[in-house]
Amino acid sequence: MSDGDRPRAAVLAEAAQAAGYAPSVHNTQPWRWRAAGEALDLFAVRERQLDVADPEGRLLAISCGTAVQHARVALAAEGWTVAVARMPDPADRDHLARITLTGRTAVTPEAMRHFQTMRLRHTDRRPVSDTPVRPEAIAAIREAVTASGIDLHVLTGDQILELAAAASHADKVETEDPEQREELAYWVGGDRPEGTGVPDAVIPSQAPQTTVPGRDFVRAGTLTVGSGHDRAAAYAIMYGPGDELADWLLAGEALSAGWLAATELGVTVLPFSSVIEIPGTRHTLRGMLSDLGYPYLVLRLGTADPDHPGPPHTPRLRADQTIDVIAG
Ligand SMILES: Cc1cc2nc3c(=O)[nH]c(=O)nc-3n(C[C@H](O)[C@H](O)[C@H](O)COP(=O)(O)O)c2cc1C
């Protein structure tokens, strides 16, 4: 049996399983897949939405978008062409996407490389080294992002200082709010055996000496941080023309494509979302964009600190917790 003859539901379920490597806010993995016939459907799981930090579901949808792009990468690596419909059912806002198999194509080395990179990509919260990210690398990451109709605005030095003030304000607002702290504590810390959340092993053991403060997880983790800084890091705002569910989904697809490209170029990525969660700082970011569009996420791009090993991979839910396969 050639690959093209394999049962479609099995092909789609495998792609959904590979999409489990996708990044999500606080590793919530707020998605559920249904593989049936020629189609793979993605649904938002509202029980894993951050009700306090993300009441509109912006970060949930961005997270689901990363899973859509991961599934597409997995299918391309198996030689499938696909069509993607976003928000395919106007009556069901939780039905975020439908990926349909449309035919067979040759597997390119690029598709295979992206597939392998999905397992390597991770979030690195350590400071970055003093080696700046090459302009060609930033251009290549931006190209990967713009393929989804989203763009990256790379911040100037003055704007980085403005971002630093916004990030510390957003963290202060969140850490002083008991409801925010309770929600954070649910998703963060410990060794997370249940397959979700951010374990201590990927949280810095002390706050890195960076201009822009990383998210305050309100606990020290066990990740060793060196003496690096973020002087050589680039900061960019991901933005686009709309601020609705379908836009956020596309932003997630763009984030995933850009992050895989960055990983292949040896560039570490750290998302900053507290500045998006707080309406006031989201407004500040909008101002930095000079009304070019709506901000979705801030990314720190850097060259990894070479003095210490990178953080381990975070846990994931089991396939049977996120995928339904409908036979027939
Ligand atoms: C939409 C989104 C927002 C995120 N926001 C932050 C953040 O503010 N701070 C942070 O340290 N990590 C952030 N992350 C990284 C996640 O915590 C990370 O992807 C998740 O824990 C899974 O770990 P991994 O990326 O190493 O696989 C974000 C990721 C996504 C997709």
Distance from residue 312's CA to the centre of ligand 1 (Å): 14
Count of all residues that appear for the chain in the document: 328
- Taking 90 as the threshold, does the pLDDT of residue 3 lie above it? no
Neighbouring CB atoms inside 10 A of 197's CB total: 19
Show the domains of the chain with their CATH numbers: 3-121+317-326 (3.40.109.10), 135-303 (3.40.109.10)
The mean per-residue pLDDT over the stretch 67-80 comes to: 98
- Cα(42)–Cα(98) distance, integer angstroms: 6
Distance from residue 326's CA to the centre of ligand 1 (Å): 31
Q: What confidence score (pLDDT) does residue 291 get?
A: 80
Cα Rg of the chain, angstroms: 19
The mean per-residue pLDDT over the stretch 143-156 comes to: 96
Distance from residue 186's CA to the centre of ligand 1 (Å): 15
Q: What is the pLDDT of residues 41-56, one digit of tens each?
A: 999 999 999 999 999 9
The mean per-residue pLDDT over the stretch 213-240 comes to: 93
- Could you give the 3-state DSSP secondary structure of residue 267? strand
Please give the structure tokens belonging to residue 10.
């099995």
Sheet holding 151-154, edge to edge: 151-154, 234-240, 294-303, 267-272
- Cα(213)–Cα(248) distance, integer angstroms: 24
Which residues line ligand 1 at a C-beta cut-off of 6 Å?
A: 23-27, 59, 62-63, 66, 122-123, 125, 198, 214-215, 271-274, 297, 314
Sheet holding 323-326, edge to edge: 80-86, 95-104, 39-44, 31-36, 323-326
Pairing label, strands 31-36, 323-326: parallel
Q: What confidence score (pLDDT) does residue 250 get?
A: 98
Distance from residue 42's CA to the centre of ligand 1 (Å): 20
Percent of the chain with pLDDT over 90: 89
- Taking 80 as the threshold, does the pLDDT of residue 305 lie above it? no
DSSP result, 186-235? HHBSS--TTS-SB-GGGSBSS----SSPPP--SS--SB---S-BSTT-EE
Q: What confidence score (pLDDT) does residue 4 get?
A: 63
DSSP result, 145-170? HHTTT-EEEEPPHHHHHHHHHHHHHH
Q: What are the strands, taking DSSP E only, across the chain?
A: 31-36, 39-44, 80-86, 95-104, 151-154, 234-240, 267-272, 294-303, 323-326
Q: What confidence score (pLDDT) does residue 309 get?
A: 66
The mean per-residue pLDDT over the stretch 141-160 comes to: 97
Lowest model confidence (mean pLDDT) among 107-116, 200-209, 236-245: 200-209
> Whole-number mean pLDDT of the chain?
95
Q: What is the pLDDT of residues 93-111, one digit of tens each?
A: 999 999 999 999 999 999 9
